[in-house]
Amino acid sequence: MIVMGNVLGDKIAKKLYQTSLSKGDVFLGKFDGIHHEKFFIIVGLSKDKVCICSVFINSTIPDFIFKKKELLNLQVLIKGVKYDFLKHDSFVSCNTQLKFEFSDMYQWIDNNKCKVIGKLDKEDLDNVTSTLINSGLLTIREIELYFSCEI
């Protein structure tokens, strides 16, 4: 397997990858404490694309969420027939945000901990973005950082 950093030089490879990230990119990755790979979506990026805000995709809504209306309202349905990477309808869980640096993302890709598998369409991305911005779970500073062009 050819590693981008070996061919282009690590600094150029990182910059190339950084400029290729975009909102709506869907990844499959491994996370500490979770026994299976998870889908996650890039929903917000800072202007300089250093920080990334993302959310998980779940195949079902966990039982504990049904007991809390405010959490249930943060589950966004996406239709499985629209996406090759889904086997059935699933839910974007806007109640759990992943916030990490671009360098972390690059390391995950470089170490095969995650990979790009698709992209949400505009309608679903807009719905997820709106749900996340209006969730009350992000600070005003975080909204400005990740979603400055949406507000």
CA–CA gap between residue 39 and residue 8 (Å, rounded): 29
CA–CA gap between residue 29 and residue 27 (Å, rounded): 6
**How big is the CA angle at 41 (ends 38 and 44), to the nearest 5 degrees?**
145
3 or 33, higher pLDDT: 33
For the record, the structure tokens of 23 come out as 């909102």
Indicate yes or no: pTM above 0.75.
Answer: yes
For the record, the structure tokens of 126 come out as 């807009």
Residues 82-135: tens digit of each pLDDT: 999 999 999 999 998 888 887 788 788 888 888 889 999 999 999 999 999 999
For the record, the structure tokens of 125 come out as 């991305």
User: Which domains are delineated in the chain?
Assistant: 4-147 (2.30.30.110)
Query: If DSSP states are collapsed to H, E and C, what string results for 46-100?
Result: CCCCCEEEEEEEECCCCHHHHCCHHHHCCEEEECHHHCCCCCCCEEEEEEEEEEE
Residue type, 132: L
Q: How many beta carbons lie within 10 A of that of residue 149, not counting itself?
A: 9
